[in-house]
Amino acid sequence: MRAALDDLVARRLADQAAIPAFTCYGADTALAVVSAAEEAGLPVILLVAPSAAEPRLIRTLRSIADAAAVPVCVQLDHAKDAALISMAIEHGVDAVLADGSHLPPDANAAFVREVGAFAATRGVVVEAELGSVPGDEDRAEAVEVSGKTDPAQIRPFLAASGAQLLACGVGNVHGRYRGAPALDWPRLARIRAEAGTVPLVLHGASGLPPSDLRRCGAVGVGKVNVNTELRTAMLETLEAGVGPARASGEDMLALTRAVLDKATGVARTVLETLGG
């Protein structure tokens, strides 16, 4: 069943837990993620990357969410273009990340506010990002930490933007961490205090230790984004399975099942770790 992002996050935070959001480049990944969520009895978010966003995929993910036995939200991730956001809303996403983090704070807030004015008429929830999270969402390159969010900017930004969730930079990166990850928990605490009732979002969760993930809900992080960890596991399983699949008469069904079973297992572990 489909559900609103802000409602899902509020319910998870009430239990001092966070909800994971998994990037889905196709229906197969979405089915694996939803299967894991149904097994765990927990809600989940299906993310659409801007690089993959097109009407058929959005409608397919929406259909998968509608048929799920647990609450599922479909969100357009890291969208910097108003036209792309408009298209995604027209075709059925439940939430968008209006990403103006590359802009000065005032321009970022204006972009989020513009998106929010349209999104509100369609019941779509708007997430924003303040302070950059380095790296590429679609690639697994090792990245240096940079662009941490300034807590002093939080209140004026939220007041000007009207964002319903806020992604921040506290030592997290997209892709792979160069060296051991070290989240800036004191900075996150200051951001949490300045954000008031607005839930926080942590991008770049792949590679973080389970102890960090378990801590998220207790410190006001209600949503955690996962991409690299899921993608890497699927690609490694695919790579290992191609030879046996060819040897057994090009058994695509067995190969596909192995990849999706791996994805389901990764998603289940993340769900249970964040589950509180």
d(CA 71, CA 184): 31
State how far Cα 219 lies from the chain centre.
18
Sign (positive or negative) of CA dihedral 150, 164, 115, 81: positive
Catalytic entry in 15, 28, 66, 77:
77
d(CA 223, CA 165): 9
Residue pair 229/262 in contact (Cβ under 8 Å)? The answer is no
List the one residue out of 46, 38, 95, 48 whose CA is nearest residue 69. 38
Please confirm, yes or no, whether 28 is among the known catalytic residues.
no
Strand ranges (DSSP E) for 163-248?
165-168, 176-177, 200-202, 221-226
d(CA 199, CA 217): 10
Q: Can you read off the two tokens belonging to residue 156?
A: 């004026």
* Active site residue ranges: 77
